[in-house]
Amino acid sequence: MAVEILEAMRQFAESYAKRTNTFFCSDRTVTAFVLEGLAKNKKDLGSPLCPCRYYDNKEEEVVSSYWNCPCLPMRERKQCHCMLFLTPDNNYTSISQEISLEELKTLLDT
C-alpha cells in the first residue's frame, strides 16, 4: 500500500469526522482496515469506494458516486456501514477523531 494514499485517506477521515461531529470506532483495527480499503480503492479505481460492500462492477459504482466515501447514506443521514464515522450515541463509538499514521501502520502490520 502506498503510504501517501493511506496518509491522504487518514487526513480526509480526521477532517470529515471533525466537520460532521462523528467519531472513529472504539476498535481501532476497524478504523485501520477501513482506511486501508479506502486507500486501496483510491489507488486502484481513482476514488475511495466504500470497501465494506460487494460490487458487481466497481468501476460503474465509482461513476455513480453513491458509495464513494463519504457515501450518500453518510452524507444524508450519518449512517456509516463501515463504522468509520460513528455518531456519539453509537455503542461502538470512541471519543477519538484522530489516528496517527504510525498507529495505522502498526495496526495494519498485525
Point out the catalytic residue in the list 25, 50, 52, 71.
52
Active site residue 52: yes
Listed in sequence order, the DSSP H helices in 21-50 are 28-45
Tell me how many degrees the CA angle 27-16-65 measures, rounded to the nearest 5: 100
Catalytic residues: 52
